[in-house]
Amino acid sequence: MPNTSAERPRRITTSRDGPLLLEGPVEVVLEDGTTVSSERFCVALCTCRRSRTYPWCDTSHRKSHRKRPKPDRPDARDPDRSGSATTA
């Protein structure tokens, strides 16, 4: 991709637990030397290497950072607060 001095610099946005967001279009050179490209105006590059579409992010990083599973029902957290628990 040509990069003339008249073009403004590409912006890359970082986040702690997410992908790198790059203003496109972009070309990415992979470790094996192959080049992949995207013409999109904004591209998310995977940094966790869990993506099935690497080097593009598919949000797989979200699945591995959950603190704890969410309960299915509001009363599942505390059976004493559900009102349906019986005491002996």
Query: What predicted TM-score, i.e. pTM, was given to this entire model?
Result: 0.58
Buried b (16+ CB within 10 A) or exposed e, 19-53: bebbeeebeeeeeeeeeeebeeeebbbbbbeebee
Rg (CA), the chain: 22
Here the tokens at position 7 are: 């073009």
From first to last of its 88 residues, the chain has per-residue pLDDT tens of 555 556 788 899 998 888 999 999 999 999 999 999 999 999 999 999 889 999 999 988 787 555 555 566 665 555 555 554 555 4
Question: Which pLDDT belongs to residue 20?
Answer: 93
Question: Which pLDDT belongs to residue 79?
Answer: 52
